[in-house]
Amino acid sequence: MDKELRQLLDDHMHDVPRLYQLAGVTPATIQRHILDGMAATIAESDWEAQYTLLAMARTVAHPEAKADLLGNLLLMPGHAVHQEVTREMQDLASPSSVACIRAVLEGGFDFLEYTCSEDEVIAKWFSHALASIGTPEAIDLIREFAASDNAGIAGEMRYRLARLGC
């Protein structure tokens, strides 16, 4: 690597989006790298690499690209970072995340058994994320699942609605 490029990289060491730009990394290439990498870590049961890939996902600067990536990670069974992915979705509060959260709530929590958590605990992750998103669609999803046949999910969603004053 020539000195000029090395200096440019050093100057932008803490500016991750600029580093990506300098390296020719796009939202699509980083997403593909993270998703392919996560699939490989699942096959290898490498939880440390899973957390590293999640840390990389946190650096995606474009909000909708990040929301799409997090949604794909949320729906991917076999890794051990679903709660952390959901928290990132909560922090991002992208309306596009509602569809992924709906898919998990409709599909059940079988792929989250590794957490050893009760349904109401897992539902809490999603109720917080939906409340943070706060759109009418997100609140409607909380309302919809407040009537779930699953008592744990229904109870958490009713609690969240009460906390929101709905």
Task: Give the domain extent around 86.
Answer: 3-164
Closest of 94, 84, 104 to residue 133, by C-alpha: 94
Give pLDDT, residue 117. Answer: 95
Mean pLDDT, the chain, rounded, equals 91
Residues 31 and 59: beta-carbon distance below 8 Å: no
Work out whether the CA dihedral 76, 80, 84, 86 comes out positive or negative.
positive
Give pLDDT, residue 23. Answer: 74
Give pLDDT, residue 18. Answer: 73
What are the strands, taking DSSP E only, across 67-108? none
Average pLDDT over residues 62-74: 95
Instruction: Report the distance separating Cα 41 and Cα 152, nearest Å.
Output: 31
Please count the structural domains in the chain.
Answer: 1
Average pLDDT over residues 63-72: 96
